[in-house]
Amino acid sequence: MQNKKVLIAMSGGVDSSVAAYLLKKQGYDIVGLTMKVWDYINKRWRNEKSIEDAQKIADDLNFPLHIVDLEDKFNKIIIQNFINEYTNGRTPNPCVLCNKTIKWGAFLELADKYNCDYLASGHYIKLRNENNRYIISKSNDTHKDQSYFLWAVSQQSLSRAIFPLANYTKPQVKEMAIKFGIKHIAQKKESSEICFVPNDDYRSFLKISIPDYNKKIIPGDFIDTSGKILGKHKGLVNYTIGQRRGLEIAVGYPLYVLKLDVEKNQVILGQKNELSTNKLRIKDYNLMKYDNLKTGQEFETKIRYKNQGFTSRITKIDKQNIEFEFYDKIYGVTPGQSAVFYEGNDLIGGGIIC
Active site members = 98, 195
Residues ≥6 apart with Cβ < 8 Å to 352: 282, 283, 284, 285, 336, 337, 338, 339
CA distance 38 to 40: 6
What's the number of CA atoms in the CB half-sphere (13 Å) around residue 57? Answer: 37
Find the helix packing angle between 80-87 and 202-209, rounded to 10°.
Answer: 100
Q: What is the dihedral of CA 93, 97, 98, 100, to 10 degrees?
A: 140
Decide: 303 and 332 in contact? Cβ < 8 Å.
yes
CA distance 51 to 220: 44
How far, rounded to the nearest angstrom, does the alpha carbon of residue 13 sit from its chain's CA centroid? 18
What is the end-to-end Cα distance of the chain in Å, rounded? 43
- Among candidate residues 217, 230, 303, the one with its CA nearest the CA of residue 267: 230
Q: Which residues of 158-194 are buried (b: 16+ CB within 10 A; e: fewer)?
A: bebbbbbbbebbbeebbebbeebebeebbebeeeeeb
- Among candidate residues 146, 142, 95, 99, the one with its CA nearest the CA of residue 119: 99
